[in-house]
Amino acid sequence: MNLNQKQTEALKKFAPQIESYSRKAMMWVYILLVPMALAGYALYVQITKGHVVTGMRDNVVWGLYIANFIFFIGISYAGAVISGFLHLLNVEWRKPIIRIAELITVIATLIGPVYILLCIGRLDRLHHLVAYARLQSPITWDVLAISTYLFGGILFLYLASIKDFAIYRDATDLNIPGWRRRLYSALALNYQDHPEQKKAVAVSMNLLSIMIIPLAIIVHSVLSWIFGMTLRPGWHSTIFGPYFVLAAIYSGTGVLIAAMWIFRKVYDLKDYLQDKHFISLGIIMMALGGAYGYFTFSEYLTDWYSSEKWNGEVLTKLFDLNQYGWLFLFANVAGILVPIIIVAIPKFRKPDLITIAAVFMVIAMWVKRYLIVVPTLETPLLPMQDTRIEYTHYTATWVEWALTFGGIATFFLLFTLASKFMTVVSISEFETEPGKDE
Amino acid sequence: MGFATNLAWRTLLTIVLSGIGCSLSGQNEQKKDSTEKLTPRMKFTAIQRNGDSILLQVAIQVRREGVLQLVDYEPVAFFYLKDSIALSLGATLTNDKGVASLWIAETTLLKEDHNPSLFKVTFNGTEDIYGDEAEASFKKAEIKISAEEIDSIYTIKLKLFASGDEILPLAATDVVFYVKRYFANLKLGEGTTDESGEISFECPRDIPGDRFGNIILIAQAEDLEEFGTVSSTITQPWGVPLNLTDDKISRALWSHAPPIWMLTVFIVLMSVVWGHYFVIIYKFIKLRKQ
C-alpha cells in the first residue's frame, strides 16, 4: 500500500497505540479484571444456586439483566446509524470517529445478548429458541434480528478496516510481532489498493451503510415490541417502537462522545478528534434529546389523561418520591434537560462539558430502561392473589450488580483490546491534514 | 343582613354541621364496637355418588348489616354419630364460596337396613361469628344408570332406589338429567320416576364431546328429604368428537403456522438483508483473488 504524506504522519502518530501496552494500559486492564473476576464468581453462584440469588421472583420476573440488555443494544446504535448515516451523506468530519462508532456497535451487540442468557433459567434449553421457534413471537423476531444485526455490524467494521489492515501489513516501520503481521495480512484479503479493489470496497460499504440503517431500526423496534405487544400498563404503547429507536440513537451518541473524549485524552488526539467533532455530535445529541423528550412527554401524558386504573398505578409509582420518583426525576433531568441546556448555550459548547452531559445522559438512559422494566412488573395487569408480599417489590442483589459491572468492565476491556489491535482513527480514511478545518 | 354577618352565620352553620357529622360518624363507630356476634346459617347436605361414595357439604353464611354474606376460609369438622358418639371424619376449610366439602370414598357409613345414618358438622366461629353445628341424617340410595341406542335414539335408563339389604324403588321422585360441561352441568331433561322407580331420558346427538366424542352424563335426584342428593354418572361416546385443528384458522397469530403475510414479510426481509451480506462476502472472495 502506498500512503500519502498525511497517512504516513497519521501512522507514525498512531503506531505506539497498537505496537505495545504501556504501563498505564496494563494497569487499566488489571483494574478492569477485578470487576470481571467478581462477575465470574457471581455467575458461578447463580449457576450453582439458581436464580433465587437474584432479586427476580414470580411477579417481577425481569430486572437488571433485561435493563442491561436493552441498554447495550441501544448504545450499539452509535455505529450503525451514526456512521451509516454520515457515510451515506458523505459528511467529511465523520472520518476520525467512524472506527470508534463501529467498535461500539460490535462490542455492545456482543455483550447485550449475554444478559438474556444470564436471565434465562434453563440454558440447556436455549436451542429451543431455534428448534421450536414460532414466527409469531416477538422473541423469535428478536433472536433473528439481533443475530442479523451483529453479523452486519461485524461485516461493517471489517469492511471499513480492510484498508487499514493492508496498511499495517505493509508498514515496515510498525514494530509488531510476526504473527500479528501475518494476521493483518490474512485479514487484508490481498488488498493492494488497485482501482477495482477500491471500487469493490466502496460499493460494499455503500451497500452495507444503506442496509444497516433500516436493520438497526428494525432491531430496536423488535426489541421494543417484546414490551409493546404485551398488555401490561406502562408497556402496551403504540409509540414504543420509535421511542426505543430514538432512545437508542440518543444513548449511542452519548457513548460515542464519551469514547471520543477518553481516546482523545489517553492518546493525545486533539488534532484528530477535534472540538468540532464534539460540537457536531453535541448538536445531534441535543436534537435527539429534544425529540426523545417529546416522545417521553407524549407517552406519559397519554397514560395520565386516559385515567386507566393500572396505567395510573404505574404513573403513581414513577412520580412518588418514596418509590421511583427520584430515579424518574434523574432520568428526565439528566437525561433530557441537561444535555439540551448545555449544548444549546454556545458558551457551554466545549468538549469537556459536552462529554459530562453525555455521560450523565448515558447513565440517565440506563436508569430509564430500569424504570421501563421494573415498575411495570410491580404493577400487574390483573390483581395478584396468594402472592408473598416480598415478591411484589424488586431489589437487585449483589449477584446482579456484580454481573452488571462485569459487563461494563468487559465492554471497556474489549474496547481497550480492540484499540490495541487497530488504530482508533482509521488511517486509510484520513486524507486531510490534522488540525485544519475540513 | 350585611355581608360580614351573613358570612359569620354561614361559617357558624358549617362548623355546627361538620361537628354533627363528625360526632355521628363517631357514634356509628361506637355502635360498631358494641355490636354482638353474628349467628351463622349452616346448610348441611350430602351427595351420594354412583352408590360408592358420599360428598358431605356445608354452606355457611351470615347476615351482616342486612346482607347475606358467605363465610370463607374458615375451618369446619365433620363427624359420624354412632350410638351418640361422634366419630371424626375429617376437617376442612370453607372455600371462597363459603362451602366446605368432604369426600368419603365409601358408603359403609350408610346403613344397609334403610335406617338413617346421622352426620354432624361443627363450625367453631370467628371473632364476630358464633360457632354452630348442624346435623343431618341420610339413608342409603342409589341410581342405576344404563345407556343404549334404541331405534337410533340415545336412551338413558335410570332406576332410583333405596339400596341396602332390600331394594326399595323410589317412586314419584324428581330426577334431573345433565351432561357435564366445562364450568357447570347442562340440563338435558327432567322427569319423575314411575312406580318401579324407573325413568328414561333421550340424549341429543349434537352435544360436543372430547377428542374421542366421549361425554359424561349425570342423573341426579336432588335434595331428597331422607337421602340427600343421589347422583350417578356414565361416560358414553355419544358426543361430537372435538376437532382441535380448525382448518378455517390454520394460519393465525395464535396457531401453529403463521399468517401468510407474516411469512412473506419475514422471507423478503431476511432474503434482502442476508442476500446483501452474501454479495459482500462474495466481493471479499473476489478481492482476495485479485
Predicted confidence (pLDDT) per residue in A388-425, tens digit: 777 788 999 999 999 999 999 999 999 999 999 999 98
Rounded distance between C-alpha atoms, residue B115 and residue A182, angstroms: 102
Q: Are the beta carbons of B276 and A207 separated by less than 8 Å?
A: yes
The residue written with cell numbers 488526539 in the block is A269
Model ipTM value: 0.86
CB A406 within 8 A of CB A40: yes
> What mean pLDDT do residues A141-165 have?
92
A385 interfacial to chain B (CB closer than 8 Å): no
* Bridge partners of residue B144, in order along the sequence: B159
CATH architecture of B40-138: Sandwich (2.60)
Q: How large a percentage of chain A has pLDDT more than 90?
A: 63
Identify which of B146, B231, B156 has the alpha carbon closest to the alpha carbon of residue B189: B156
**How many C-beta atoms lie closer than 10 Å to residue A270's C-beta?**
13
SS (H, E, C) A309-346: HHHHHHHHHHHCCCCCHHHHHHHHHHHHHHHHHHHHCH
CA distance B272 to chain A (A): 9
Cβ–Cβ of B280/A201 closer than 8 Å? no
Q: What residue type is assigned to position A317 of the chain?
A: K
> pLDDT at position A398, please?
96
Residues of B in contact with A218 (CB under 8 A): 269
Instruction: Name the residue ranges covered by the structural domains of chain B.
Output: 40-138, 141-236
Q: What is the DSSP letter of B174?
A: E
> Which residues does chain B have within 8 Å of residue A191's beta carbon, measured at their own beta carbons?
287
Q: What is the mean pLDDT of residues A270-299?
A: 94
Distance CA(A353)–CA(A349), nearest Å, equals 7
User: How confident is the model over A179-191, as a mean pLDDT?
Assistant: 91
pLDDT in tens, B104-124: 886 677 777 778 889 999 999
Interchain CB contact of A231 with B (< 8 Å): no
pLDDT tens digits, A92-135: 888 888 899 999 999 999 999 999 999 987 888 889 988 998 99
Contact A204 B280 (CB under 8 A): yes
A138: closest chain B residue by CA: B253
Write out the three cell numbers for B25.
360518624
Q: Are A83 and A101 in contact (CB under 8 A)?
A: yes
The pLDDT of residue B247 is 59
Q: How far apart are CA A301 and CA A280, in angstroms?
A: 32
Q: Measured between CA atoms, how close is B259 to chain A, in angstroms? A: 8
Q: Which of B277, B289, B290 lies nearest to residue A155, judging by beta carbons? A: B277
Place of cell 352426620: B119
Domain B141-236 has CATH 3.40.30.10: no
**Are B61 and B68 spatial neighbours (Cβ–Cβ below 8 Å)?**
yes
Query: At residue A340, does pLDDT exceed 90?
Result: yes
State which CATH number among 3.40.718.10, 3.30.70.20, 3.40.50.920, 1.20.1630.10 fits the domain covering A5-421. Answer: 1.20.1630.10
Predicted local distance difference test score (pLDDT) of residue B133:
93
Instruction: Say if CB B240 and CB B259 are below 8 A apart.
Output: no
Residue B134 DSSP one-character state: E
Enter the C-alpha cell of residue A429. 480514511
Which residues of chain B carry a pLDDT beneath 50?
A: 1-6, 8, 16-34
Indicate the pLDDT class of residue A309, thresholds 50, 70 and 90: confident
Angle ∠(B254,B260,B264) on CA atoms, nearest 5 = 125
pLDDT 10s digits, B212-231: 999 999 999 999 988 999 99
A159 contacts B279? CB cut-off 8 A: no
Q: What is the pLDDT of residue B250?
A: 77
pLDDT exceeding 70 applies to what percent of chain A?
97
Residue A432 has pLDDT above 70, yes or no: no
CA dihedral A274, A275, A278, A281 (to 10 degrees): -90
Identify the bridge partners of residue A432 per DSSP, sorted by sequence position.
Answer: none
Top residue of A154, A165, A185, A204 to mutate, by most chain B CBs within 10 Å, is A204
Chain A closest CA to B271's CA: distance in Å?
Answer: 11
**pLDDT at B289 (0 to 100):** 77
**A377-410 burial code (b ≥16 CB/10 A, e <16):** bbbbeeeeeeeeeeebebebbebbbbbbbbbbbb
Is residue A437 predicted with pLDDT exceeding 90?
no
Closest C-alpha to B132, from B61, B33, B54: B61
Give the mean pLDDT of A261-287: 92
Tell me the average pLDDT across A13-40: 91
